[in-house]
Structure 1
Amino acid sequence: MAKGYIEGSEDAVDIYEVFSIYRGSAQKFYAWHRGAVFSQYNAILRPYLEYKRLYDGISKKYSWNTVISHLPKTLNPLQYLSRYLPSHAVERVLALPHKSRQQLDEIIRLLDMDEFCDEALRGKAYALFGLEN
């Protein structure tokens, strides 16, 4: 049916525009659908979402612990910020005093790790920044 329409069309069919319009419509529908589902099934979904948040946070904690534990102590961690943070967040971090506790605490916050970064992990991060715990 679509192939016949395209072949029979006298004007060129702008596939990019067609898919852009479709994508916008699909995104609006899924945004509405997600809101409707969350409204109707909030009591059921809330515990799942909390457990997922905790699982994701603990997973990130152990992942960052592994990464930080295996980095060379001479590495400049600030050069890798753009891999993990958007440019506006990198600018916020770099606006703080260089390799300071404020800078590291802001990175932890921006990575959404403040709740899951325990003292041992924070100590490793401070050591990476050349700070005493």
Structure 2
Amino acid sequence: MVADSEVDLLGAAVSYGWQATDEEAPGEEVVNVGVADEAEDTVVIDVDEVRGWLSHAGRAVPVAAALNVWNLATDVAYSRGWVRSDRGYWADRAYDKLFAANVPWALGLAAYRPRWTSQELTALRRIEGEAVGLLRTTFTGV
């Protein structure tokens, strides 16, 4: 289900008779979406920032948006039974750098600023381009 806002999504859930539960499914984290004005529960994924980066070769990699778009596209593909070509030596290196830049503390670092090789950037551009296309097709039908 796709909605323009969290409020619209909650309204759709109510119309389907879906109810939130406090029980966690095995291996899943419960996210509280019961109150629409709690900004920490809403994640904005800026696909346009990634599209802008793809259109301008010299621009710095938008590490937060790139990681979010990559992860969302992977989730969407998985939920639809599609296979993505986002793995391999250079792709894995690019993903690891995006991850480290976004959550350096998970790797025991205070901060991390990636230095990209041309091979990593080539892989990242291919994967992000495919991710943007997948999301556009899925959510707009275009």
TM over 0.5: no
Band of TM-score, shorter chain:
under 0.3
Q: Who wins on radius of gyration, i.e. which is larger?
A: 1
